[in-house]
Amino acid sequence: MASDLVIVYHRQPYEEVEDADGKVTFQENKSPNGIVPTLKSFFGAVDHGAWIAWKLAEDSANPGFDQVVEIDDAYGKYSVSRLPLTKEQVSEFYHITSKSAFWPILHSFKERYDYDPVNWPNFREVNWRFAEAAAAEASEGALVWVHDYNLWLVPGYLRQMRPDLRIAFFHHTPFPSADVFNVLPWRREIVESLLACDVVGFHIPRYATNFVSVARSLLDVTVEDRETVGPHLTFEGTALNERTVPTRISYQGRDTEISVAPVGVDVPFVERNADSPETTARAAQIREEMGGAQLILSVGRTDYTKGGIEQLASFERLLEKHPDLVGKVRLMHVSVAANRNMTAYEDIQNDIEQVTGRINGRFGRLDWQPIALISRAIPFAELVAYYRAADVAWITPLADGMNLVAKEFVASRTDGDGVLVLSEFAGAAVELGSAVITNPFSNRSMDSAIHTALTMPEDERRQRMADLRRAVSRYDVRAWGRAIGADLGVKNDDARQGDGGNAPAAA
């Protein structure tokens, strides 16, 4: 059955679970990611939808599984097309091209960019197959919504195959300035593909502005409309602030709308978890275990963009400059490896462990260790308990498209207390100006921010947290869905979200 809405996303919208008899069932994703249920909620507004993803296969020509399955669940009726990719194709498409070449450029780490191992023909082939699958599923004049940088070429291919379609793209990472992005030798091919879209979306105005700047540096692109950025996405205290943003551009007779919609977390779901008797009891237990010491919580992936080493160095300087804090403050540093098979990330994890060991050896006592390093994923319910128990959430990435951990922390603080220290290079900083904003590239700024957070009076903590909670509620994941839906001309069904099937993304 042809679909009026086709979502193209690299991961499947469910988990496959095989029972003892070998029967496979599809269940809601257990991994915390609020985007997937939000995307599926759009299927409720159409008669039939489709989702395009990839699935690992030993032989892509004979995968040994149904490439198209029909789903009928709480979100509606939709097909899922699973593109069979071999382990080698996935490695080249995702781990090498997307992570070794694109990822460092998107986050403005030119020194980590690695062009040599990229298999560009393979990247083209995989994107072409995604486009073919979308074209096969889409009805006449349907909307095809493509997600993220590893599918950059899909819109251009899709426009060639099906000029009747409406095509949208949403970018979930930062988008860098022209002098950084143009390091990529495939820059023109990528940008021309994105300009085949009817709508291109970004989290914050800065990323949208950077994209238009890149497009204009490469092609004869004209800015047709520009708007003043609203007050809720403007904060002068962050490096990512923009006062105006382009909203419509044209290229070779085609107009492309530029959309800005910051993604949020499922606030009601987080609050329900935070207020549950189990979480309340666990948070109280954590506080009791702290023995009156203050708890700083840092949560992120093991990634050079997250600034883990820089943060640990700042904590070491804090203990050096304020010896009265020894034994009275503890850092719980959660650094979860996202790409265990990649040498760069393994090296970062080793460095984090080495620095943590040095600090603990230098300042630790038999009855107290300054840092608890956690290198495994923490169940969401347990993480919320730590959010509730922490005095400070210390979120200081060197570059981050949004950072939902910061928003999760705020949403969990139904008690109205707690301090958020946030990097000005996280996209969320333009919304969360009542956090203690810091520059992770400055030792002085980092050290001052964490000390300010630890010594902040209660009335100031509560005022800041009240402001932060209003901001997080304003742009929660449902607001993102409504804003995107308005830009795309399709409604999503809010009522199909927030049943607790998925926790928001800790990323």
Locus of tokens 């022209």: 178
Is residue 493 over pLDDT 80? no
Query: What pLDDT, on the 0 to 100 scale, is given for residue 338?
Result: 66
Question: What strands lie across the sheet with 329-336, from one edge to the other?
Answer: 371-374, 329-336, 294-301, 392-395, 419-423, 436-438
Q: What are phi and psi of 110, to 5 degrees?
A: -60, -30
Q: How far apart (Å, rounded) are the C-alpha atoms in residues 264 and 341?
A: 30
Is residue 500 over pLDDT 50? no
Is residue 452 over pLDDT 90? yes
Is residue 31 over pLDDT 80? no
Neighbours of 105 (CB within 10 A): 21
Q: What are phi and psi of 439, to 5 degrees?
A: -105, 110
12: Cβ–Cβ under 8 A, 6 or more apart, which residues? 51, 53, 55, 80, 82
Q: How far apart (Å, rounded) are the C-alpha atoms in residues 70 and 83?
A: 15
Higher pLDDT residue, 224 or 336? 224
pLDDT digits (tens, 9 = 90+) for 256-279: 999 999 999 999 999 999 999 999
Is residue 455 over pLDDT 70? yes
- Comparing CA positions, the residue from 127, 56, 59 lying closest to residue 98 is 127
Query: What pLDDT, on the 0 to 100 scale, is given for residue 166?
Result: 96
Q: What share of the chain has pLDDT > 70, as a percent?
A: 94
- Strand pairing class (24-27; 15-18): antiparallel
Query: What pLDDT, on the 0 to 100 scale, is given for residue 365?
Result: 94
pLDDT digits (tens, 9 = 90+) for 195-246: 999 999 999 999 999 999 999 999 999 999 999 999 999 999 899 999 999 9
Output DSSP code: residue 93. Answer: I
The mean of the pLDDT values for the chain is 92
Hey, is 52 helix, strand or coil? strand
Query: What pLDDT, on the 0 to 100 scale, is given for residue 85?
Result: 93
Helices 154-161 and 187-194: angle between axes, nearest 10 degrees: 60
pLDDT digits (tens, 9 = 90+) for 376-409: 889 999 999 999 999 999 999 999 999 999 999 9
Highest mean pLDDT pick, 303-312, 473-482, 491-500: 303-312
Q: How far apart (Å, rounded) are the C-alpha atoms in residues 471 and 459?
A: 19
Hey, is 10 helix, strand or coil? coil
Beta bridge partners, 256, equal: 249
Average pLDDT over residues 137-165: 97
Higher pLDDT residue, 185 or 99? 185
Structural domains of the chain sorted by starting position, each given as residue range(s) with its CATH number in brackets: 3-260 (3.40.50.2000), 267-474 (3.40.50.2000)
For 191, the enclosing helix (H) or strand (E) is: helix 187-194
Hey, is 496 helix, strand or coil? helix
- Strand pairing class (68-73; 76-85): antiparallel
CA within 13 Å, CB half, 193: 23
Query: What pLDDT, on the 0 to 100 scale, is given for residue 503?
Result: 35
Hey, is 368 helix, strand or coil? strand
- Comparing CA positions, the residue from 133, 186, 191 lying closest to residue 162 is 133
Query: What pLDDT, on the 0 to 100 scale, is given for residue 224?
Result: 98
Amino acid identity of residue 136, one-letter, is: A
Q: What share of the chain has pLDDT > 90, as a percent?
A: 76
Query: What pLDDT, on the 0 to 100 scale, is given for residue 506?
Result: 36
Average pLDDT over residues 164-193: 97
347: Cβ–Cβ under 8 A, 6 or more apart, which residues? none
For residue 319, give both structure tokens. Answer: 């203990």
Q: How far apart (Å, rounded) are the C-alpha atoms in residues 247 and 205?
A: 10
Question: First CA to last CA across the chain, in angstroms?
Answer: 36
Hey, is 485 helix, strand or coil? helix
Query: What pLDDT, on the 0 to 100 scale, is given for residue 481?
Result: 86
Is residue 86 over pLDDT 70? yes
Give 501's pLDDT tier (boundaries 50, 70, 90): very low
Average pLDDT over residues 486-490: 85
Q: How far apart (Å, rounded) are the C-alpha atoms in residues 238 and 424?
A: 5
54: left (phi over 0), alpha (psi -120 to 50) or beta: beta
Query: What pLDDT, on the 0 to 100 scale, is given for residue 189?
Result: 98
Question: What strands lie across the sheet with 222-228, from one edge to the other?
Answer: 68-73, 76-85, 49-56, 3-8, 138-147, 166-170, 199-202, 254-260, 244-251, 222-228
Virtual torsion, Cα 418, 389, 268, 231, nearest 10 deg: 20
Q: How far apart (Å, rounded) are the C-alpha atoms in residues 234 and 346?
A: 37
Is residue 62 over pLDDT 80? yes
Beta bridge partners, 426, equal: 400
pLDDT digits (tens, 9 = 90+) for 404-428: 999 999 999 999 999 999 999 999 9
Q: How far apart (Å, rounded) are the C-alpha atoms in residues 132 and 221?
A: 28
C-alpha pair distances (Å), 53 with each of 26, 82, 151? 14, 5, 11
Query: What pLDDT, on the 0 to 100 scale, is given for residue 339?
Result: 62
Please say whether the beta carbons of 308 and 335 come within 8 A: yes
Q: How far apart (Å, rounded) are the C-alpha atoms in residues 105 and 113?
A: 6
